[in-house]
Structures are given as structure tokens and as C-alpha cells.
Structure 1
């Protein structure tokens, strides 16, 4: 029988193809770089091909290596499906579950959700990965994650999505702001460069622009924030105004700031939802988790 790659080697190589950096790939796999490099070299030797071109500064995956990585993703996903089938005989929401969450949801929803989830499902071993929507989606489709908690709408292919609840937007401004008249708010009368948003890559930026009817690009500042915490600090310094989701407004994020918030109209919201691979054998289990999140959030 021919020697076959191990799942560890395949996961390592998929990570390397994604990051194109040995150190970052090793870190994402929670292994030391020397051990990671040995595993990649062993995979090359076993396949008798060169998967990457190595230089002092860069790692370039070869054309053949790209093809191998693509097939490795299919293999790993099929293995995940096989394990899911085996888990079908287990009680729902027990064992291992790998959940991806975006940064504009995780710090506001998870601290309230996780204690209740542990109490109701003590046999569930939940592994969390926080990252931007595109990245958790890629990990979902590669089989590294079982499902993801994201903000909708967002263009995602070959998935099932379960909307959970609406997260309404609030206008956030310094209590003595010179940028906005809270009593007569209108986006058209805002000064140029007065709207502060997250940087590109955060879906909250696009959702805010769309849901809050921001049509004039001149109103949006070229200065962006990397996180909601940074965004709040900029507004607290009266550098502009922004739009925050309800779950952030109701969290301690604005505590000890001089920021005031105004509820936007009912059509200004993003939708929070669970997403998993289409036709997953665990769809019923994931829907059960979705209903638990929905009920817990509404009760809070």
C-alpha cells in the first residue's frame, strides 16, 4: 500500500498556502515553526515534488503546490463530513464544535452567551476563532470551522444561513460635538470627512454605509479605525461621528466616555446570523444552537 499524507501534513500545507509564511502558518496551527517545517518537508519527500520555493524572506507556493492545496482542502472537508456522520449518533451539542465569529460580534455577544451555553450543554467543547468575515468563511469552507457567526447580508456561496436577530444602528457622537445637531440630524448636512468608520475588510463598514443611507462619499473620513474600541476613542475625542450596532451600545464599550447615542430609524440595522456548509449532516444541531442564541439574546 502506498504511503499517504497524514491529515496533519495536509492541514499544515493548507495553512502554509494560505499564509505564504512559515511562522504565521505554524502559529495558526499551534505548533512550533521547526516542527511545522519538518512536516512540510516530509510531505514534499513523500510526494516527491516541490511544494514551495523558499528564500530568506519569502515563501512562494509552486503551481503544482496550489493544485495539491486545492485537493487537500477537498480531502480535509470530506474527512470532516465523515466525522460529522459518526457524530450523528451522539446527543446534539456535545463533543467538539469549532465556531468562527467576527470581531464586531464576539466581544459583545459571547460574554453573555457562553456561560448560559456551558450551563445548558456541559458536554459541548466549543472552540472559538475570531477573524474577519472573509477569513472565517474561508476556514469554514476548508473544513477548519464547523459554522460561523457573522453579520448579514454578505455574499457567501454554498452555505446555509440562519438569521437570528436584527442589530439596529445608533448614531454616536461626542456630547458637545460640533459635527452634528442631534435634534436635527441629517446625513446631507454633515461636514465633509465627518463620518468615522472601520477600515476596509470589516463588514460593519459596508453595513453602516448601506443601512444608514450614506450616499455621499465625501462625508466619510479617509481616516479609519482597526477596531470598534479605536473607533469609539476617536469619537470620544470629537474627531467625528460614527454608527454603532445596538449590541455594542448596550455593552460597557461606551462607559467612561462622553459619547451620546441616537437610535436610527427602524430600517437601519444589520442582521446577525449563523452560517454553515450547505447540506451539512449537522444542520439540525446547528439550527438548535441558532435557536439557543436567538432566545438567549432576546431574553437579555
Structure 2
């Protein structure tokens, strides 16, 4: 019997999608090529693994057992790849875009002292997927991730940003009382946009000034020109206020906040050697930025 990793990968894609065409797209091969590999795997096993239906594909009992084994093998391979990287001293670290340009410059000297580092900036959903796939060792995010091991780094409170005249009109208001017509948000897919909407008690449909900005700096530039209001996390406050002198920042009476955390896979066997030291470096850098913002605003 000669079962290949390619065949097991194709079966995992088929089990995930229950469609030969969609499974072929995921593994980047043609549908006939995928079908051939599944047939060969069935020949090796000696019994059908999938029930082929006109509009659906269902795994047989034998197919489910082979899929369980394939998932275990895939997990072991991801762990092996991660250990091999770290054996070379490399840590693959992800970070969301509303944290990366502010926290990383402050943390990089300390991070470099921990060894070779490869950084990946992407939205939360992508980072969590890459941790699950073994492509990232850890990620800096600002939303809960209950399936991952998490280390809290620091609390990052939100300030209201706009021109001084706009801020005078909105001083003392709670986030829920802000005018939706004035609120500027990031593109969909950014967790900061979802957090701001939740804090303000709004949905995308209710927020009518939707400029589709892709970065926090763009929002601050628009707010500095009187285009509207936005919420800015403390770690970005000092840098953005220096970049845009006409941008004003004020605090809410009851300050909303996000919890920044470092997450990794639960099963990372060698995490004791690198995870906590990196968390300490990031926590110190973040607390330093937050302290600067609280002294100034």
C-alpha cells in the first residue's frame, strides 16, 4: 500500500467542501486530476471513501476514518514545520494593520533580540487561518480567540478624533450618541471597524458616510480635513496627531477600549522557549505607547 500526502490533502479538501470542483480550486488542480487521486486512494484502501451524488459528495464510514487520520497527519506536519523554523531561530509573527505601524517600530529592537523574525501584516481572519495552517507561530490581534492560547498585552483605549470645531460639538457625548453621518470607518474586514460600530451601537447600513478607507492613517487625514469623526486607539494617537497638526483628539467620559493580545496554537510544544519572552517585549512597548498618549491627551 502506498498512500501519498497529496492524496490525503485532496481528501481533506473534499471533506471540507463536499464538492469535487470546489476541492480542486482549494488545492489548485483540475477537477479530473483530483478525481484520479481520490480513485487511487480508494484503490489503496480497498473500499469506497466517498459517495458521489449529482449535487453532493458525502464521505463513507471508511472515508471519515481516513479523513480523521489525514487531519492528524496534517497537524503533525504543521508542528514539524514550525519546530524546524524555530530550530533555525525564526519566528513567524502576524499582526493586524491597526496595530502594526504603531507597535512594531517600538517593539522591534526587543523582538530582534529574541532571534530571527518574519512579520506578516494581515486582517485578523487571515492571521488566525494561517496559525491554524501552521504558517504563523503567533499573531498580535485585538479580538478574542477562544480556540488559541492567549497572552494579554495591554489595554488600548479609544479617543474621538476630528477637527477642534467638530470635537467641541461632540464633547461629552458617549460613542452611542455620535452622529452616524459623521462617522468614518475602515473597510469591511478590519476588526477595528467592527469594534467601532459595536461601541457606537451601529451597523454598516446605519453608517452612511462609508469611504472605504484601508488604513487608520487615511481616516485620520480625512478627519483632520473636517470630513467627519473617527475613533483612534491610544497606541496611534501620538503618531497620528504629529502627522496631522489639525487633528484634534479628546477622551470619552467612559472610555471604550480594546484588549491587545498575543495568540498561538494550543499545541505549540516548544512555546515556553519563545512565546512568553516575545509577549513581554510587546507588552512593554505597548504600555509605553499607551502611557505617552495618556500623558498627552
Normalising to structure 2: TM-score of the pair? 0.69
Which one is further off, 74-83 or 195-204?
74-83
Q: Distance in 2 between matches of 1:276 and 1:204?
A: 21
- Cα 1:95/1:239, change in 2 over 3 Å: same
Name the one with the larger helix percent.
2
Aligned to 1:140: 131
Specify every segment of 5 or more residues in structure 1 that has no aligned partner in the other structure, as ranges: 27-35, 50-61
The counterpart of 1:151, out of the listed 108, 127, 142, is 142
Map Cα deviations across residues 113-160 of structure 1 (whole Å, 9 max, x no partner): 123321x23xx22222211111111111122211111003x3x34211
Report the Cα distance in structure 2 between the residues aligned to 1:45 and 1:188, rounded to whole angstroms.
57
Say whether the 8 Å CA contact 2:111–2:117 is kept in structure 1: no
Q: CA deviation at 1:229?
A: 2.5
| Partner SS for 1:207 | helix
SS of the residue corresponding to residue 244 of structure 1 reads strand
Name structure 2 gaps, 5 residues minimum.
41-55, 290-297
The within-5 A match list for 1:100-111 is 100-111=94-105
Aligned to 1:98: 92
Match of 1:263 in 2: 251
**Residues 74, 142 of structure 1: 8 Å contact kept:** no
Q: Which structure dedicates a bigger proportion of its chain to strand? A: 1
The CA deviation at 1:216 is: 5.5
In the other structure, the counterpart of 1:30 is none
Q: How far 1:245 sits from its partner (Å)?
A: 0.5
Summarize deviations over 1:174-215 as a string: whole Å, max 9, x none: 2333x75254445565445111122332111232234xx423
Which of 143, 146, 157 does residue 168 from structure 1 map onto?
157
How many pairs were matched up? Answer: 260
Higher alpha-carbon deviation: 128-137 or 199-208: 199-208
2:76 aligns with one of 75, 78, 84: 78
2: distance between equivalents of 1:100 and 1:71? 29
Q: Secondary structure at the match of 1:271?
A: strand
User: Taking structure 1 as the reference length, what is the TM-score of the superposition?
Assistant: 0.69
Larger Cα Rg: Structure 1 or Structure 2? 2
CA distance in 2, matches of 1:168, 1:99: 24
Q: CA deviation at 1:173?
A: 0.6
The structural deviation recorded for 1:230 is 2.5
Q: CA deviation at 1:45?
A: 6.0
Structure 2 partner of 1:117? 111
Q: Cα 1:189–1:279, aligned 2, differ >3 Å: closer, same or farther?
A: closer
Change beyond 3 A, Cα 1:126–1:73: farther
Task: Give the Cα separation in 2 of the matches to 1:77 and 1:6.
Answer: 15
In structure 1, the residue matched to 2:267 is 279
The alignment's C-alpha RMSD in Å is: 4.0
Q: 8 Å contact 2:141–2:263 — kept in the other structure? A: yes
